[in-house]
């Protein structure tokens, strides 16, 4: 990287303003730990007022206190909880301009034909239904104000399908399709965009609940030969949540270490 000390002051100032989120209000779901907490920290560091939505009160409050944000506790699967969460955020922090749908679960790892209906439904309720409910609750206000950024956290599994993770893969495919539909529906209706990211395996506590063989399979598919980091995911979300990403909507951005093939 070139030494910035030799750059004209105007150039340095303009570069520093890229991706500035000052004055914006962001709601990050599933942000009590892991990727969600990392995304919230990145957005707060860029100037946004951040709300932490999580089902675990202690986790939400710990992250919110650290970031000077707002803790919102609720069930992402509940229409009432989601509506109440957004109302609370807007009352306390101001109009919602950024929504990051990160809340998700992997579910039980097993062969597809060994799974129960509950195994399948429980994953869809969090990953797909939860994303639908938050988008549906946030979009009317964004449309009325003529501005908004929605970033949905999908997965490379939603594109390629991971063995022993059928419900997770299918639910993340639903998130990608939902993103594309909403992006097209909102295009031309003000500066409101909807995009998704598709991470490969990221080193978080979620991996501890998965079968080692499943984790090894996923890492083995990555040409870079490693897991991604929370900071790398947060950086991509930061761009898509910024004003600069104004001509990008309905897209799914891979962050997969070269795994993605399309």
Q: Which tens digits make up the pLDDT trace of 147-205?
A: 999 999 999 999 999 899 999 999 999 999 999 999 999 999 999 999 999 998 887 76
Question: Is the residue at 262 inside a domain?
Answer: no
Question: Is the residue at 14 inside a domain?
Answer: no
Residue 9 has pLDDT above 60, yes or no: no
Dist CA 124 CA 174 (whole Å): 9
Question: Is the residue at 260 inside a domain?
Answer: no
Question: Is the residue at 43 inside a domain?
Answer: yes
Distant-in-sequence, close-in-space partners of 3: CB < 8 Å, separation ≥ 6: none
Residue 237 has pLDDT above 90, yes or no: yes
Contact 68, 95 (CB under 8 A): no
Which residue would you say has higher pLDDT here, 9 or 244?
244
| Catalytic residue, candidates 168, 217, 239, 262 | 168
* pLDDT given for residue 115 in this prediction: 97
Question: Is the residue at 107 inside a domain?
Answer: yes
DSSP class of 251: -
Name residue 70's beta-bridge partners. Answer: 51
Distant-in-sequence, close-in-space partners of 13: CB < 8 Å, separation ≥ 6: none
Name residue 50's beta-bridge partners. Answer: 26
Q: Say whether 168 is catalytic.
A: yes
Res. 141 pLDDT band, cuts 50 70 90: very high
Which domain, by its residues, includes 180?
20-255
Residue 15 has pLDDT above 70, yes or no: no
**pTM for the model:** 0.90
Average pLDDT of every residue of the chain: 91
Which residue would you say has higher pLDDT here, 203 or 251?
251
Stretch 115-130: mean pLDDT: 98
**CA dist 253 → 63, 180, 214 (Å):** 26, 12, 23
Residue 17 has pLDDT above 50, yes or no: yes
CA nearest to 167, candidates 225, 108, 120, 110: 120
Phi and psi of 240, rounded to 5°?
-65, -20
Dist CA 30 CA 34 (whole Å): 9
* pLDDT given for residue 142 in this prediction: 98
Question: Is the residue at 11 inside a domain?
Answer: no
Stretch 134-141: mean pLDDT: 98
Question: Is the residue at 8 inside a domain?
Answer: no
Question: Is the residue at 182 inside a domain?
Answer: yes
Contact 82, 96 (CB under 8 A): no
* pLDDT given for residue 175 in this prediction: 98
Please count the structural domains in the chain: 1
90: its two tokens: 């807007």
pLDDT digits (tens, 9 = 90+) for 31-70: 999 999 999 999 999 999 999 999 999 999 999 999 999 9
Phi and psi of 155, rounded to 5°?
-170, 155
Dist CA 241 CA 245 (whole Å): 7
Residue 90 sits in a domain whose CATH number is 3.40.50.720
**Beta-strand relationship, 147-153 and 49-54:** unpaired
Contact 126, 170 (CB under 8 A): no
């Amino acid at each position: 990287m070139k030494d910035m000390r030799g750059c004209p002051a105007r150039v340095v100032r303009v570069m520093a303003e890229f991706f500035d989120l000052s004055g914006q209000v962001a709601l990050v779901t599933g942000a009590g730990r892991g990727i969600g907490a990392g995304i919230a920290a990145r957005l707060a560091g860029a100037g946004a007022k951040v709300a932490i939505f999580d089902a675990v009160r202690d986790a939400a409050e710990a992250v919110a206190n650290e970031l000077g944000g707002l803790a919102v506790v609720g069930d992402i699967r509940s229409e009432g909880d989601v509506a109440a969460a957004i109302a609370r955020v807007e009352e306390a922090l101001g109009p919602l301009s950024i929504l990051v749908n990160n809340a998700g679960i992997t579910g039980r790892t097993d062969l597809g034909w060994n799974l129960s209906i509950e195994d399948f439904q429980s994953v869809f309720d969090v990953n797909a239904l939860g994303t639908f409910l938050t988008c549906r609750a946030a979009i009317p206000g964004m449309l009325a104000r003529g501005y908004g950024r929605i970033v949905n956290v999908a997965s490379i599994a939603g594109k390629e399908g991971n063995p022993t993770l059928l419900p997770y893969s299918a639910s993340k495919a639903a998130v990608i399709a939902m993103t594309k539909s909403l992006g097209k529906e909102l295009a031309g209706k003000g500066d409101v965009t909807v995009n998704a990211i598709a991470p490969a395996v990221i080193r978080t506590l979620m991996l501890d609940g998965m079968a080692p063989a499943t984790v090894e399979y996923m890492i083995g598919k990555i040409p870079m030969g490693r897991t991604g980091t929370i900071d790398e995911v947060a950086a991509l979300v930061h761009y898509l949540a910024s004003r600069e990403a104004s001509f990008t909507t309905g897209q799914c951005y891979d962050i997969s270490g070269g795994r993605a093939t399309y």
